[in-house]
């Protein structure tokens, strides 16, 4: 079943994908750090949308779509437009190149992320494995 990105359903599907990924479990076994992924306004996104992920030792301990302000102060905030996330999930844009060319903006310790590039890639692979739609179906 396809999930609309971004949505609570999509985030739940991502959490499941992460927690069933042996590759991510292995490559992120020492990772400790939580994220806000912010989808910036533009296209059909009117207000910024935030996804919270708590990633810990190769597992996702928690994931939710942030409703308003969740009061969380995650270690990392990654921001970008919907089109960039889509291109990454569709494997048309390398996530590290997206960060280096500042198509995605990172707040947090880039050095820590760069020491976990394989885990980053495996996380993106988890996102890519979620069957995703990016446009709301219009009724005829």
Partner 1 sequence: MWFFKSPEIVFGEAALDYLDELPGRRAFIVTDPTLHALGFTERVAARLRKAGLETSCFAEVEPEPSLETVYRGAAAIREFAPDWIVGLGGGSAMDAAKAMWVLYERPDLRADEISPLVTLGLGAKARLIAIPTTSGTGSEATWAFVLTDTAEGRKLGLGSRETLPTLAIVDPALTMGLPSVITADTGLDVLAHAVEGYSGLWRNDFSDGLCLKAMEMVFEYLPRAVADGNDTEAREKMANAAAIAGLGFGNAMAALAHAMGHALGAVFHQPHGRCVGMYLPYTIEFVARRGDGRYADIAHALHLPGQGEGATPRTAAPCWMDEAEAATALVAAIRGLMRQIGAPVSAAGMGISLAEHEAALERLCDLAEADTQIVTSARIPDRDELAALFRYAYDGPTVDF
Site residues (vs partner 1, CB under 8 A): 23, 26-27, 94, 96-97, 99-103, 106, 109-111, 114-118, 120-121
Q: Residue for token digits 């890519």?
A: 128
Taking the C-alpha atoms of residue 2 and residue 16, their distance in angstroms, rounded to an integer, is: 14
Q: Residue for token digits 């910036």?
A: 40
Which bin fits 33, alpha (ψ -120 to 50), beta or left (φ > 0)? left
Taking the C-alpha atoms of residue 2 and residue 5, their distance in angstroms, rounded to an integer, is: 9
- Cβ(111)–Cβ(85) under 8 Å? no
The least CB distance from residue 116 to partner 1, in Å, is 7
The least CB distance from residue 23 to partner 1, in Å, is 6
* 65: three-class secondary structure by DSSP: strand
The least CB distance from residue 119 to partner 1, in Å, is 8
Nearer to partner 1, 27 or 132 (CB): 27
Nearer to partner 1, 2 or 57 (CB): 57
Nearer to partner 1, 114 or 128 (CB): 114
Nearer to partner 1, 49 or 121 (CB): 121
The least CB distance from residue 78 to partner 1, in Å, is 11
């Amino acid at each position: 079943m396809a999930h609309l990105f971004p949505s609570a359903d999509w985030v739940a599907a991502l959490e499941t994908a992460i927690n069933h990924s042996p590759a991510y479990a292995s490559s992120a076994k020492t990772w400790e750090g939580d994220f806000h992924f912010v989808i910036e306004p533009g296209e059909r996104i009117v207000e910024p949308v935030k996804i919270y992920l708590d990633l810990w030792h190769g597992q996702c301990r928690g994931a939710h779509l942030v409703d308003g302000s969740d009061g969380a102060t995650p270690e990392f905030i990654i921001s970008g437009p919907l089109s960039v996330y889509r291109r990454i999930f569709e494997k048309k844009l390398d996530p590290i190149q997206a960060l280096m060319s500042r198509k995605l903006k990172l707040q947090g310790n880039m050095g820590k992320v760069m020491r976990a590039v394989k885990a980053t890639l495996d996380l993106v692979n988890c996102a890519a494995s979620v069957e995703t739609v990016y446009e709301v179906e219009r009724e005829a």
